[in-house]
Amino acid sequence: MIKFPRVLLITGTPGVGKTRVSKALTERLGGLYISLTDIVTKENLRLEVDSERDTVVADLHRLSDRVSDIISESSCDVVVDGHYASEVVSSNVVSYAFVLRIEPDKLRQRLRERGYSEGKVLENMASEVLDVCLFDAVAQYGVEKVDEIEVTHKDVDEVVEEIIEVLNGRTKAKSGKVDWLGKLEEEDRLSELSTYLNWL
């Protein structure tokens, strides 16, 4: 049974559009928006800066405690935005985790436009092809709470509407809809995977 107010996670590989979807969903629900990246930055909840991988390593324990405090004080729906959200928010409070998915080629284009290093681009492409965020969400919350949404050719409003359909019980949360590995195999591009994996 879903508790109210609800705690909803929007997760997925960097570049899939989590922030835009999260903010639009929050506005639609009249809820509270939580950006894990913003909290880590503003409250200095980090362990180190990994210059080799061009990333900030968040202090997940302190971040989890901080997010838990924010959620416990909220009287409205909470939308949590972050690619490592499933490592931070307890399964006891989460109503649904929505995992956004995007075609790897489109992801590469977006990340390059954002100025990501080539290594970081390939690392994130590998994560997307290998379903890393989906795996983490299902492992933490179970299949009944995880909904996978393919967003490549959808605008923000379409994605939010799909989420609302699940929240209103008109459709069931479902994972296993996306198979980028199978797509690469169909297109005879599996050899590209080894290039991605070298960056993981």
User: Domains in the chain and their CATH numbers?
Assistant: 7-103+132-178 (3.40.50.300)
Which has the closest alpha carbon to 89: 21, 49, 140, 160? 140
H-type helices in the chain, by residue range?
18-29, 36-42, 60-73, 104-113, 118-129, 132-141, 156-167, 180-186, 191-197
> What pLDDT was estimated at residue 149?
98
> What pLDDT was estimated at residue 181?
85
* Ranges of the chain with pLDDT below 50: none
Phi, psi of 182 (to 5 degrees): -65, -35
81 DSSP β-pair partners: 10, 35
> What pLDDT was estimated at residue 197?
66
> What pLDDT was estimated at residue 198?
66
Give percent of the chain with pLDDT exceeding 70: 91
> What pLDDT was estimated at residue 47?
74
> What pLDDT was estimated at residue 172?
96
The alpha carbon torsion through 146, 136, 78, 34 (nearest 10 deg) reads -150
> What pLDDT was estimated at residue 185?
84
Give Dmax over CA atoms of the chain in angstroms: 51
Tokens standing for residue 37: 């990246």
150 contacts 176 by C-beta, under 8 angstroms: no
Spacing of C-alpha 114 from chain mean position: 18
How far apart (Å, rounded) are the C-alpha atoms in residues 119 and 94? 33
Q: Tokens 């390593």 belong to which residue?
A: 57
